Structure 1
Amino acid sequence: IGTWNVRSMNQGKLEAVKQEMARVNVDILGISELKWTGMGEFNSDDHYIYYCGQESLRRNGIAITVNKKVRNAVLGCNLKNDRMISVQFQGKPFNITVIQVYATTSNAGEAEQFYEDLQDLLELIPQKDVLFIIGLYTWTSQDGQHRNQIDYILCSQSQRGSIQSAKTRLGADCGSDHELLIAKFRLKLKKGGKTTRPFRMGKTRHLFKKIRDTKGTFHAKMGSIKDR
């Protein structure tokens, strides 16, 4: 599983991204700052792309791209808005949901709306799903003088044992100043086709609270580093 801020995506860059996915063996890739308009899904050679952007403006925009290895395990997607999207995969013994987010904003109102939208999306995810939240967040220092964009791959504590490695691929190139972040997990997928159980609320409320708490702790730590 990987996440990458591509800083806009034209046809040529899409081909470069697909080549890099194959080269470094990424099955599921979340993409930030796509800058496409509209929403939808389409096939591109051996890859399938789910994307969501603004209606007319070419700003923000995200996507999740999967290769043919995992395409048949896809159960569905939720094209929430130009800052978050999710895809559910049929797994064994539990299904897997990947949420790609683009959380960069310096506007307090937009930031609050982002977390409200994320909570809404989390509440639609079945309680037993293995959940990954990947993408780009922005940290701003307390004095407002410093802003950093940080890429994350988040999973629950219960899935820590399935993590085999996590690293950035410095050699990956798509014309972006952001590095490709990937994490290797040992998870089982199987072909879709079975009817999934209805969405329901559950532990996602607790996970959302932990995301907010982690964000606050990270801001405090980064602030103390800058103060030094």
Structure 2
Amino acid sequence: MPWRSESGRGRSKAEPVVIMRNPCQISTWNVRTLLSPGKLEEVIEEMNRIEIDILGLCEVRWEGSGYYWKENNRIIYTGREKQGTNGTAIILNKKWGKLVENTIHYSDRITAVKIKADSTNLIIIQVYMPTSSYPDEEIEDMYNRIDEIIDTVNKNDNLIVMGDFKAVVGEEAVGNIVGKFGHGVKNYRGERLIQFCKENDMFIGNTFFKQPKRRLYTWKMPGDIGRYQIDFIIVKNSKRNQIISCKTLPGADVNTDHNLLTSTHNFLVKKNKEEKIDLSKLISLNLR
């Protein structure tokens, strides 16, 4: 699957001399629709209030695909030929939006961005899985499409796959894939998600951090007759030490039955000689 160039910038050859931490808050949210007047502005307002850097969205229901800037936020989206169903999007603040190098608009259920960093690229894949009413063949097709994107990612890149998976992985730890802080009873789709993580050496971030129950579930059934954890942020095991928090924020509100799921990451980045250095963030120095 080819990446679509969005920047036209060349590679920097500046020599890095220090390694520093670059904190980033990455979130995913099924907003149910962005067709309602003012809904996008509400989402961006919540994003700014919570200080989210990168926000993946499900079920935006827009038509077509592309990107544009709205004030200080870059919006990249993928939808159907006609608006009304499905659709995914990724919104980035000004800092991270400027670093987008490539995008993939892959069906109305998958959007991916490649963010150019000094040390390693950051790849975000936003996913909106079909519901349980769809046949297993369509679920397998979705995983095949995600795998096609992953196959284009460099081994050392930061890879995050997130979104609404319509799956429950349960409360029992599974190796280095599922932690002991999941929520609900594992189902068949949850087994398939675990298999995907195993094949790609990834773990489900929001099952590894102890939180109150209200910070674990991501979706309420109509009438609040059941609460489930079906939205996930999935990270490469090799980058495990870079994620320092993952939880839902029930207080975020844009009229949806899904809770905002957010994670905090400390990415390692390299700084060049000519750049000013904040010594409070310095973690190592190597001039060799």
* TM-score band w.r.t. shorter chain: 0.7 to 0.9
Shift of 1:103: 1.0
Select which of 248, 272, 276 maps to 1:168.
248
User: What is the distance in 1 between the residues matched to 2:39 and 2:78?
Assistant: 17
5 Å-filtered alignment, 1:172-211, equals 172-188=252-268
Alpha-carbon separation, structure 2, partners of 1:85 and 1:147: 27
Q: Flag structure 1 segments of 5+ consecutive residues without an equivalent.
A: 191-228
Counterpart in 1 of 2:53?
Answer: 27
Once the two structures are superposed, the pairs formed by residues 80-99 of structure 1 within 5 Å of their partners are 80-99=106-125
Structure 1 position 138 matched with structure 2 position 166: yes
The 3 A distance-change label for structure 1 pair 110 and 3 is: same
- 1:128 counterpart residue number: 156
Give a deviation string over 1:137-179, Cα, whole Å, max 9, x none. Answer: 113856xxx9956010000112111112111111111111110
Sort the Cα spacing of 1:59 and 1:50 in 2 relative to 1 into closer, same or farther, 3 A: same
Cα separation, partners in 2 of 1:136 and 1:45, compared to 1, 3 Å: same
Structure 2 unaligned runs (5+)? 1-25, 169-186, 189-225, 271-288
Given that 1:139 and 1:147 are in contact with CA atoms closer than 8 Å, whether structure 2 keeps it comes out as no
Q: Answer whether contact 1:138 1:147 (CA < 8 A) is retained.
A: no
Identity across matched positions, percent: 37
Off by >3 Å, runs of 4+ in structure 1: 146-149
Deviation at 1:67, TM superposition (A): 0.6
Q: Deviations over 1:90-110 (max 9, x none)?
A: 123111101000013332221
**Residues matched between the structures, number:** 188
The answer to which structure has the higher helix fraction is 1
Selected match of 1:113 from 137, 141, 165: 141
Report the RMSD for the aligned CA atoms in angstroms: 2.1
Tell me what 1:78 maps to: 104
- Partner amino acid for 2:107? N
- How far apart, in 1, do the equivalents of 2:165 and 2:228 lie? 8
SS in structure 2 at match of 1:70: helix
Scaled by the length of structure 2, the TM-score of the pair is 0.61
Bigger-Rg structure (1/2): 2
Report the alpha carbon displacement of residue 77 of structure 1 after superposing the two structures with TM. 0.7
- The answer to whether the 8 A contact 1:51-1:61 is kept is yes
**Correspondence 1:50 to 2:130:** no
